[in-house]
A and B are shown apart, each in its own frame.
Chain A
């Protein structure tokens, strides 16, 4: 028999029409699934009452296990046991730091270094998308068992700094797991929703997320129901595990232990973690353990000593936080609230340090391990249509980096500026550069910089079948469309013939965290240099266009010129060609002016001639018709 949940007044659904929706926090270390029951977001636990599913997938022969069971395989079969697969999502091999020290058998994608990395396992070559899908399948099965029916949809969270490639990979993993992905949601945004900050609390919020192995800081601005990511930062190699490691080292030192066997090290590391967790609610943690080596450890770790040995780690997170604030151009006093996410933020010294930095108590009354999943569930519930009266708002996200395309000279033309709210569509007309040009390469790029070389390449495609026309006559309308998940499709259409080409952006590979974080910063620090380079490139492109036009005119109508005039024009061409490759913008401008002057009469004569040609042999009647 089905079990009923309480609905909002007037919102009872008809039997069999409950729209079951879940929020999924697909984490680097752990994953969770949550739903809204009787108006309350709750995390769904497994049959043993464990809410967290370790994000570990282990292939055994052709089979696969996920979670705690897979975790147990980590030391037995590291090659077939994939941990932290999130770090590989949407990434090429060369984007992955220290891949050579990982126990996996990486397979670079076929097209050289492009394309997402794959891993060779006992069950065959697997992509990060397939591996993530295994985690999602387990969460889906858990949710369907807990809710008593098939899911109508899911919201999956991603880090705010995830680029298009990584978002697309996450969405693909959801689909592969049989989920209807209602949308992807930024993790800090989900955390803010869980705290109800979306309900009328306008202002700047910081989300401090210290997980098992990663640290992320996000600065959000909420206004009119729109969360805008102002800045992100962090450290992809700093998390709660590092605190365990510090305690582990301290125990070895305090107990004067000799180098440990792998088994003893594992036992001690577990004790170190337990001690860390114990100190969250106690002033002192006793650590007693008898090692396989026969040595007996009996030490006491005080919270003061713990704070001391982990001070540099805490400091690192604070520096990244300050940096993110600086990127956003904000002071700590402008932050209205701080949301704590991730199990490691339970540590009192972190609560204290963050509170001190911002001059206010951080929000921490929700379980920091669950807060992202809870926010995602709230959003999923709304998107699935289970809305209460008055809750008819829809949360909007923004695109993190501008989207545009390459124009002549390697310049970026931004069609959709960063921080535009989603979904969004923009179109712009472009034209051909050369006479008789019948094809056009559309190169889609993402980034803030002026030159394509400094941005991230997302996709390239070609529009063919443009009718031959003089340069500048063709009208090609390029439209960019970004859906609610931040995923892009691009179409190009030649307006007179209607020929069209389009691409769904399935980007080839991603950037490293540092690169992404650095991209925004670069766009500020290089602003003046970029402006200079853009002006130079524009002058170069214009000069090339002039040379092209002059040459084509000479080919057709050189007969209209005297030898002296021809020599003057040739001089102008040589003069312009000489300065074209340099970086003297003014020299290019001057040479162009000179060539323009030299060809002014020539152009007028050609114009007259073509008018005469057009008119000759026609009578007045024809002219008037």
Chain B
């Protein structure tokens, strides 16, 4: 189960509207990065039949079955830190992550 905060959902909706197309967000992991795994966050134009689809606050989040074990239970949030802003993940599966936060390891 993947959830998305209301604030993040609002931003996603804005981005999608601006982009003019897209079914929602694809959230997943890839094996790369300094701690083994890296998140990927992309717009979705084509859904795959095996995708898990989670919907909250009107935004669809698609996750491929291979990624799900690593990120199940994650909440997507949109935060502002100083001048920077973007998506942050509260992932309960993380054992440790590299300082940059873009890459992580699971338990």
Contact = CB atoms under 8 A, between A and B. Distances in A.
A21 B33 CA distance: 22
Interface in A5-59: 5-12, 14-16, 37-40, 44-47
B102 A45 contact: no
Contact of B83 (A2, A10, A14, A44): A44
A2 B38 CA distance: 12
B85 A9 contact: no
Interface stretch (A140-148, A352-360, A402-410): A140-148
B70 interface: no
A5 B89 CA distance: 12
Contact of A2 (B15, B30, B82, B100): B100
Nearest to B88: A3
A1 interface: yes
A484 B32 CA distance: 35
Contacts of A38: 11, 15, 86
A109 to B, nearest CB: 39
A15 B103 contact: yes
A3 B83 contact: no
B45 A7 contact: no
Nearest to A142: B83
Contacts of A9: 26, 42-46
A142 B83 CA distance: 8
A18 to B, nearest CB: 9
B81 interface: yes
B19 A47 contact: no
User: What DSSP secondary structure best describes chain A's contact surface?
Assistant: loop
B107 interface: no
A489 B92 CA distance: 58
B1 to A, nearest CB: 20
B18 interface: yes
Contact of A6 (B87, B88, B102): B87
Contacts of B79: 3
A76 interface: no
A37 B85 CA distance: 9
B101 A1 contact: yes
Interface residues on B, range: 35 or more
Contact of B41 (A7, A14, A142): A7
A147 B14 CA distance: 20
Contacts of B89: 4
Contacts of A142: 83
Interface in B51-107: 79, 81-89, 97-98, 100-103
Contacts of A146: 82-85
B86 A4 contact: yes
B40 interface: yes
B64 to A, nearest CB: 12
B102 A7 contact: no
Interface in A409-454: none
Nearest to B40: A12
B66 to A, nearest CB: 15
A6 B41 contact: yes
A16 B102 contact: yes
B42 A10 contact: yes
A1 B35 CA distance: 14
B2 interface: no
Interface in B4-38: 11-12, 14-15, 18-19, 25-26, 30, 32-34, 38
Contact of A145 (B34, B46, B84): B84
Contacts of B88: 1, 3-4
Contact of B101 (A2, A39, A46, A145): A2
A614 to B, nearest CB: 77
Given A3-B88, A4-B86, A37-B86, A14 B33 contact: yes
Contacts of A12: 30, 40-42
B42 to A, nearest CB: 5
A12 B30 CA distance: 10
A201 to B, nearest CB: 15
Contacts of B40: 7, 12
Nearest to A148: B84
Contacts of B26: 9
A147 B43 CA distance: 20
B98 to A, nearest CB: 8
Contacts of B103: 15
Nearest to B11: A38
Contact of A15 (B12, B18, B32, B44): B32
B102 A40 contact: no
Given A14-B38, A16-B102, A6 B84 contact: no
Contacts of B81: 3
Contacts of B86: 2-5, 37-38
Given A6-B87, A7-B42, A146-B84, 14 more contacts: A2-B100, A3-B85, A3-B86, A6-B25, A8-B42, A9-B43, A9-B45, A10-B42, A12-B40, A15-B102, A38-B15, A40-B18, A40-B19, A45-B83
Interface of B: 11-12, 14-15, 18-19, 25-26, 30, 32-34, 38-46, 79, 81-89, 97-98, 100-103
27 contacts: A1-B101, A2-B100, A3-B79, A3-B81, A3-B84, A4-B39, A4-B89, A4-B102, A6-B15, A6-B25, A6-B41, A6-B87, A8-B42, A11-B42, A12-B30, A14-B33, A15-B32, A15-B34, A15-B38, A16-B34, A38-B11, A40-B14, A47-B83, A145-B82, A146-B82, A146-B83, A148-B84
